[in-house]
Amino acid sequence: MIKDAHNKTYFIWTLGSLLIILLTLGCQRSKAGITVAGSTSVEPFAELLAEEYMIHHQKSHIYVQGGGSTAGIEAAISGAANIGMSSRYLIGDEKKLHAVMIAKDAIAVIVNPKNPIADLSLVQIRNTFSGKIKSWKEIGGPLPPIVLVTREEGSGTRESFQRFVMGKEDISLEALVQDSNGAVRQVVASDLNAIGYISLGLVNEQVKALRISGVEPSIINIDHGKYKLVRPFLFIFNGEPDGDAKSFLEFVLSATAQKLLFKEGLVPVLPNIAQK
């Protein structure tokens, strides 16, 4: 009997301490640091910069998360993230936030490398994505119907594409919808008839970036303002940046970091880096 009672006390203590452990687990943080969250277009570049930054600043840790431009801006407002990442300009109420442009990115219209088409005009691209042009034959390509690939509603890349290319026209509802640059690239890379748009920095040998009315989407053309499909990559702060966030921003705007971004296919904000 006595042993039994012991067992029960023991049981209660174990259960109690387990509960306490479970409750406090959520409050733990492995390392102090700052969180950078937002646009999935900026995310891979921010990760790269964060890694580079942490090599030189061993004490601080930078957590990079995706979620999208809007989520990033909201996170900056709510304080869930120290820095929000956005691949679109701020609109409406958001304008009261502190935004710093860290680079410019172009949107490339991509097709399968086996597709003979290499050049389309803006109007042709608009009519293709609005569904007016349904077959590659109409714009000098192979026969089969065009497979449109677009991003989901709310995506910064889609928003920029809508503004630069579509204007008031809607993207056809027939279009396949993929939820990341990588997924769009994957579909276009595997489908001869597909056409899509992604961040220029993420174009690789699996897909072909089209010239738009003869203008190659190159860094020089973007810098000279010839290639028009260009959007900003922004860091968003709620108020003036301070502490680790400030020091990370300073690093991102430094020549080292800007050179890194240039190598990855972005257009740096420091003018003299893009020249060379």
- Do residues 79 and 72 touch, judged by C-beta distance below 8 A? no
- Do residues 151 and 178 touch, judged by C-beta distance below 8 A? yes
Query: How is residue 23 written in tokens?
Result: 């409750």
Minimum distance from residue 247 beta carbon to other proteins (Å): 28
Determine the interface stretch with other proteins among 43-51, 54-62, 154-162, 253-261 (rule: CB under 8 A).
Answer: 154-162
From 155, 160, 199, 238, residue interacting with other proteins (rule: CB under 8 A): 155
Q: Which one-letter amino acid corresponds to residue 123?
A: V
Which 178-237 residues touch other proteins, going by CB under 8 A? 178-179, 186-187, 190-191, 193-194
From 173, 271, 272, 275, residue interacting with other proteins (rule: CB under 8 A): 173
From 154, 167, 182, 243, residue interacting with other proteins (rule: CB under 8 A): 154
* CB of 73 or CB of 203, closer to other proteins: 73
DSSP β-bridge partners for residue 85: 38, 235
- Coil, strand or helix at 184: helix
According to DSSP, residue 135 is labeled B
From 51, 138, 152, 250, residue interacting with other proteins (rule: CB under 8 A): 152
Q: Which one-letter amino acid corresponds to residue 11?
A: F
* CB of 152 or CB of 242, closer to other proteins: 152
The DSSP secondary structure of 90-120, one letter per residue, reads --GGGGGSEEEEEEEEEEEEEE-TT----EE
From 71, 85, 99, 219, residue interacting with other proteins (rule: CB under 8 A): 71
According to DSSP, residue 200 is labeled G
* CB of 184 or CB of 209, closer to other proteins: 184
Instruction: Tell me how far apart the alpha carbons of residues 55 and 208 are, in angstroms, rounded to a whole number.
Output: 35
Site residues for other proteins per CB under 8 A: 5, 8-9, 11-12, 15, 40, 66-71, 74, 144, 147, 152-156, 162, 170, 173-179, 186-187, 190-191, 193-194
